[in-house]
Structure 1
């Protein structure tokens, strides 16, 4: 069942859904919202069936029930709404809609939702997609349909490599960036032998490969690795393999609740007490919150945004907190930035055409509270500076959700493949 919020704020139900998944639709009108100055330009599109001007519609395809729900999910939806508000709520006098669906980490379901959104529901752009397998399938559909897709939650570098598309933007991070930042720092600090436990799908495979490359490039060795099922409740056999390997570092190449559960169980099995250290290659704010500082303290991580890094980020994060009762992690912050930049590009291009809008996204400067020195390059990758951070000890915390010390800022160019080494076919055109 769909829920739509009208101008009076009253909720009304507007029918079922062919795929059997739920959508939440928020129609945001600039007259009712605090906003930045409105934009001009002709970006109006007409509904084929009714002949009426239709809203600009952004679909948040996310994880509302699985391992990354806390790091994306409802928080990603709210971040998209905040971006629409800050843009002004309308474009050419027409409302901007945010709709959402749960892909449940199922590639076929995510692809079906994307196809239906583009074909039937007139969705102009899809955002988030926190699963690499689902993201690659959605990217294929967006390419076929000549539609925009903006990735915040997905991490595979293939999105801007051999599978790149002229209509997609990989906004927040990829596995290469977080591996290079975190694994490189750990090896340089003496953690030069690794055993990697990775989730058994495209994201985990790629994260483990990238970490292996970074470790060996810094003079370390990877003694072994093992794959675990997504959302498994029992990591005991994998942890025992890591312990028996004798590696100094147990690399954790998964996400969300899998990361939390693996770290908890590793400590219960005495991994840290036995002299090994844990290195989570993708460690999110929601993971730290779920674990607590007593368990997570001292862990290195690489992140493009920190909610209280500066006054501008803090102000926006506090608005988010008022709605979600949690601070935004990097994936939710990425949704905000990607949606805001997309809307600015639609206005600048005076068009909803995917090619024209993405060209404008490359041309316009990226300016949001969560992006540092960011730019969109030809393969669709946003190159941005990131923080190397370390989880605070409980005694260092000064306020709720204050979990990270900034160790250094890593230049964006150090965290991406050079275009000269890219497999993206767009670069040969």
Structure 2
């Protein structure tokens, strides 16, 4: 080989080497699942939320724009300071592009503030406080799955219209429970009912006896539970010990997961009305996802975990469409692209960051009516999304043009 050819070959190798190295070490698109791995809603979120995100990544082919997609997770322990510390480290040190899930409204609000400062994306599947898409809204946050407002309008209005006019609300003492209690009261009153009293219990309460006895003695026709996860399960179980729910006085769970129903058993939970954004058995696509999910975890997904799947799927589609992982460009596509996952019916992102979607009014089946494991709900009606959101003209979100 002459010197001219050797020089040309060495030049080509010099150019090729860094290109090959860059391709092999391309920075990953990182998604952080900030969740509850061991606490009161770990069964409804936790490992299931992590696997839901991983399924979305696998369905996207494991990479986007030539970058591998990496899913990491952390446990916020229902503490805003812990969640904030994890979020800061993820954004500043670990290169996380988007944080998803976020059960616990107080943690979600704290993380949203950091993400706004850092111009990073937050996709909330599991926190329901309306503050996320009302007064505290952010151009980098989407409230994907549900709000306390939607659940209250779906369930409370149906129960009041059935003739149960007097209510007593037992709520968890943090942002989510307080907001759900307020939304429930507003809906009850708007439909001609009356809330006799509202009391609050600490998160992760073991003994509900004093709260339930106070509610029972009120004489309210309905005792509404504005809590979640283990608190809801414990309250319903202990209510049964006092005979609550078996006579004229009924229980209404304002947020009830299919895992909660499974834990309680259909015998205890049958007949309960609830509003859900999605259900594992709602269509062929939902059943296909559920098959993958059950192979990994041995159970059906909750609507919170289904929301993680949908939000991560849509995020990756937005990154691909934007041609970049720049947060502003991705969010522009996130808002404009049609939402097409199996769990989202007639869904779109509003200017305030809230996903407006149709939801389902469901009723827990009796043991006799259930034909197989996890066949827990009868779908009574589809509730149009427009009936489950506040008008944009009344929005407190500064992103909404009046």
Q: TM-score, normalised by structure 1?
A: 0.87
8 Å contact from structure 2 (residues 65, 324) kept in 1: no
Q: Which runs of 5+ in 1 are unaligned?
A: 1-45
Q: For residue 9 of structure 2, what is the aligned residue in structure 1?
A: none
Task: Give, in angstroms, the shift of residue 273 of structure 1.
Answer: 3.4
Q: Which runs of 5+ in 2 are unaligned?
A: 1-20
Q: For residue 322 of structure 2, what is the aligned residue in structure 1?
A: 349
Partners of 1:349 and 1:108 lie apart in 2 by 33
Secondary structure, aligned partner of 1:305: coil
8 Å contact from structure 2 (residues 271, 365) kept in 1: yes
Partners of 1:100 and 1:66 lie apart in 2 by 15
**1:416 aligned to 2:386?**
no
Question: How many equivalent residue pairs?
Answer: 381
Which of 177, 185, 199 in structure 2 is aligned with 1:212? 185
Q: For residue 57 of structure 1, what is the aligned residue in structure 2?
A: 30
Partners of 1:52 and 1:88 lie apart in 2 by 18
Q: For residue 233 of structure 1, what is the aligned residue in structure 2?
A: 206
Partners of 1:426 and 1:309 lie apart in 2 by 34
8 Å contact from structure 2 (residues 280, 290) kept in 1: yes
Which of 345, 356, 363 in structure 2 is aligned with 1:383? 356
Q: For residue 241 of structure 2, what is the aligned residue in structure 1?
A: 268
Task: Give, in angstroms, the shift of residue 356 of structure 1.
Answer: 1.2
Q: For residue 88 of structure 1, what is the aligned residue in structure 2?
A: 61
RMSD, aligned CA: 1.4
Partners of 1:147 and 1:247 lie apart in 2 by 46
More helix by share: 2
**1:146 aligned to 2:119?**
yes
Partners of 2:129 and 2:204 lie apart in 1 by 19
Which of 44, 63, 78 in structure 2 is aligned with 1:105? 78
Q: For residue 7 of structure 1, what is the aligned residue in structure 2?
A: none
**1:198 aligned to 2:164?**
no
Task: Give, in angstroms, the shift of residue 52 of structure 1.
Answer: 5.6
**1:137 aligned to 2:114?**
no
Task: Give, in angstroms, the shift of residue 289 of structure 1.
Answer: 0.7
8 Å contact from structure 2 (residues 26, 68) kept in 1: no
8 Å contact from structure 2 (residues 335, 350) kept in 1: yes
- CA-to-partner distance for each residue in 1:158-205, whole Å, 9 max, x for gaps? 000010000011000010000100001000111111000000000000
Partners of 2:330 and 2:151 lie apart in 1 by 28
Partners of 1:402 and 1:428 lie apart in 2 by 44
Partners of 2:359 and 2:321 lie apart in 1 by 28
Task: Give, in angstroms, the shift of residue 272 of structure 1.
Answer: 2.0
Partners of 1:425 and 1:367 lie apart in 2 by 28
Secondary structure, aligned partner of 2:400: helix
Partners of 1:52 and 1:311 lie apart in 2 by 38
Q: For residue 368 of structure 1, what is the aligned residue in structure 2?
A: 341
Partners of 2:372 and 2:286 lie apart in 1 by 16
Q: For residue 301 of structure 1, what is the aligned residue in structure 2?
A: 274
8 Å contact from structure 2 (residues 101, 125) kept in 1: yes
Larger radius of gyration: 2
Task: Give, in angstroms, the shift of residue 53 of structure 1.
Answer: 3.0
Q: For residue 308 of structure 2, what is the aligned residue in structure 1?
A: 335
CA gap of 1:313–1:52, structure 2 versus 1, over 3 A, is: closer
